[in-house]
Amino acid sequence: MVEVETQAGFVENAGRTMLSVDALFCERADRVLFRELDFSIKEGQVLQIKGSNGSGKTTLLRILCGLNEGYEGAIYWYGEPIGGKVEEYYSSLAYIGHRIGVNKVLTPKENLRWTCSLQQVVADEELYEALDKVGLRGFEESQCFTLSAGQQQRVSLAKLLISDTKLWVLDEPFTTLDADGVKQLEDLLRDHADKGGAVLITTHHNLSVTDLQVLELG
């Protein structure tokens, strides 16, 4: 069963439908994770996916990011099947999973610089600003293996700020963050949505953001 709840004000503030899913079905080890799954996420919206362990939250995110092809159903990007808009779709998406994708030998600044090399040229000032926003001022030149798990998670989150992507897909990003990190991440989510972006996130954390939609798997 899948339930979708919407906070007051969501419909009023929402923009165009960015991503939509139609009749999604996935089975793993002879167990159905979800069937006939339908939902959509609009510009300016945060969609929180909830569910017990094993309900298929991570699998769903990996399907949407093209990392799991074991499913049936249709996925649309601005109303068109993603199969016909592959380059546009994946270049508009930023994914942070359980493996945060931080090279621990490199510094936070070097990690961001490497990420930028795959997309666009970004000035050092922008890299420092992104690291500052996630609470890493003073750690820009420290090798990441010297940082705590929470600080390494912040490096990964800083990549979102320089990615220039519309859709953020985040799998349990609050796990290693302290109270300050939680607030900073919520601010980032809120700012991204306010600018017309969208966020798809799995977390048991009670999010303090506007235009929040909740998708319950189970």
Give the per-residue pLDDT at 6. 40
Return the H-helix or E-strand segment holding 76.
Answer: strand 72-77
d(CA 67, CA 145) in angstroms, rounded, equals 27
pLDDT tens for 163-218 read 889 999 999 999 899 999 999 999 999 999 999 999 999 998 888 887 899 999 97
pLDDT digits (tens, 9 = 90+) for 68-98: 999 999 999 999 999 999 999 999 999 999 8
Residue predicted with more confidence, 8 or 90: 90
Distance CA 108, CA 131 (A): 8
Domain boundaries, the chain: 1-92+167-218, 101-164
Its pTM stands at: 0.88
Question: Going by CATH, does the domain composed of 1-92+167-218 fall within 3.40.1410.10?
Answer: no
